């Protein structure tokens, strides 16, 4: 379980007047620090930080003390952090382990081509996970509009791998049956997976038909012209192709089902 610490910081006189905002920014950039509040009186800031073990409070404190604009720092209180089972769950899901390393720089969100369509940007999703907001995260549409372009992943300075995180959240959302009402991506994914489980290969026409039937049969009208163009060019086979080893594949999948470890 984590540890929560409250730290009080006094600035050097020469920085106190103009350095306030810069100092706050610097503190907020530290991954362990959750909030920084300016206060008046003997101290300039009160900081709330969460670390994974009590001993880490000392290292955070000395890191802050080492800043040249810090005159002194006192530890006000150290207590067990409120449990965050959702954070633990995400961290124990393959792909979700790295959210603790995020420094909230926002590079992922700034790189994301689909951020405009997301309920919460990738950076915010991570902040929400760390705040334990399980329901908000798993019922959001964010992961369902991620197109796996991996731009966030190659640009993240802390190697958090937001793309993998998005996939982990999709699996958790499936697993818990929590679903965003307006996204139909899960229905497409289901149709896709079924097609593989039945034939060993994806049959695109089958996936599309199943998807539209499930979500919006009328929308199919819009797709007919494209479908016909592909059909006339031999790009849309009507029948699925079954692999010869389909029973072998089914045996493997059944065993995986028994062993679990779905997420």
Partner 1 sequence: MRYYSYFPGCSLEATAVAYGLSTQAITGALDMELIELEDWNCCGSTPYGSTNELESLCIAARNLALAEKTGLDLVTPCSSCYTTLNRANSQLREYPDLKGKVDECLATAGLEYKGTVKIRHLFEVIFNDTGLKTIESKVMNPLTGLRVAPYYGCQLVRPEPSFDNQQNPQSLDRLIASLGAEPVPFPLKDRCCGGSLIIPELDLALGLIHQLLESAGSNGAQCIVTVCPLCQTNLDAYQGMVNSKFGTSYNLPILFFTQLLGVALGIELQGLGLDKGVISAEKVLAPSVTMAEPAT
Footprint of ligand SF4 (CB under 6 A): 102-108, 111-114, 122-123, 126, 146-152, 156-158, 160, 162-163, 166
CA geometry: angle at 151 spanning 150 and 156, to 5°? 100
Does residue number 94 form part of the binding site for partner 1 (CB under 8 A)?
Answer: yes
Helix intervals (H) in 1-91: 13-16, 20-28, 55-65, 85-91
Does residue number 65 form part of the binding site for partner 1 (CB under 8 A)?
Answer: no
Does residue number 12 form part of the binding site for partner 1 (CB under 8 A)?
Answer: no
Q: Which residues pair with 51 in a beta bridge?
A: 3
Q: Find which of partner 1, ligand SF4, none residue 126 binds, CB within 5 to 8 Å per kind.
A: ligand SF4
Those residues whose C-beta lies under 8 Å from the C-beta of residue 54, and which sit 6 or more positions away, are: 3, 78
Does residue number 245 form part of the binding site for partner 1 (CB under 8 A)?
Answer: yes
Which phi and psi angles does 197 have, rounded to 5°? -65, -30
Q: Find which of partner 1, ligand SF4, none residue 201 binds, CB within 5 to 8 Å per kind.
A: partner 1
Nearest to 78 by CA among 99, 92, 98, 57: 57
Nearest-angstrom CA–CA distance, 193 and 237: 18
State the residues that interact with partner 1 by CB under 8 A: 94, 113-114, 117, 143-145, 147-151, 153-155, 161, 163, 167, 170-171, 174, 183-185, 187-190, 192-193, 195-196, 200-205, 207-208, 211, 215, 225-226, 229-230, 233-237, 241, 243-245, 248-249, 251-253, 255-257, 259-263
């Amino acid at each position: 379980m984590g540890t929560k610490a409250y730290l009080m910081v006094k600035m050097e006189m020469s920085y106190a007047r103009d350095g306030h905002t810069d100092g706050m920014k610097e503190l907020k950039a530290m991954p362990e620090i959750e909030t920084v509040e300016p206060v008046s009186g003997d101290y300039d800031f009160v900081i709330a930080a969460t670390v994974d073990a009590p001993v880490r409070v000392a290292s955070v404190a000395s890191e802050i003390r080492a800043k040249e604009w810090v005159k002194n720092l006192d530890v006000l209180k150290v207590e067990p952090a409120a449990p965050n089972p959702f954070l633990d769950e995400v961290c124990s899901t393959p792909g979700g382990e790295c959210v603790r390393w995020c420094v909230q720089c926002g590079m992922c969100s700034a790189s994301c081509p689909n951020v405009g369509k997301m309920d919460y940007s990738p950076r915010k999703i991570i902040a929400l996970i760390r705040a334990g907001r399980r329901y908000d995260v798993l019922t959001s549409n964010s992961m369902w509009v991620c197109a796996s372009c991996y731009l966030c992943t190659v640009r993240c300075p802390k190697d958090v791998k937001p793309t993998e995180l998005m996939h982990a959240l999709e699996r958790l959302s499936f697993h818990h049956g929590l679903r965003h009402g307006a996204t139909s991506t899960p229905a497409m994914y289901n149709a896709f997976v079924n097609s593989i489980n039945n034939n060993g290969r994806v049959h695109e026409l089958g996936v599309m038909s199943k998807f539209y039937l499930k979500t919006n049969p009328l929308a199919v009208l819009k797709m007919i012209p494209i479908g016909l163009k592909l059909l006339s060019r031999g790009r849309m086979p009507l029948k699925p192709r079954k692999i010869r080893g389909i029973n072998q594949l089914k045996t493997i999948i059944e065993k995986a089902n028994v062993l679990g470890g779905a997420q």
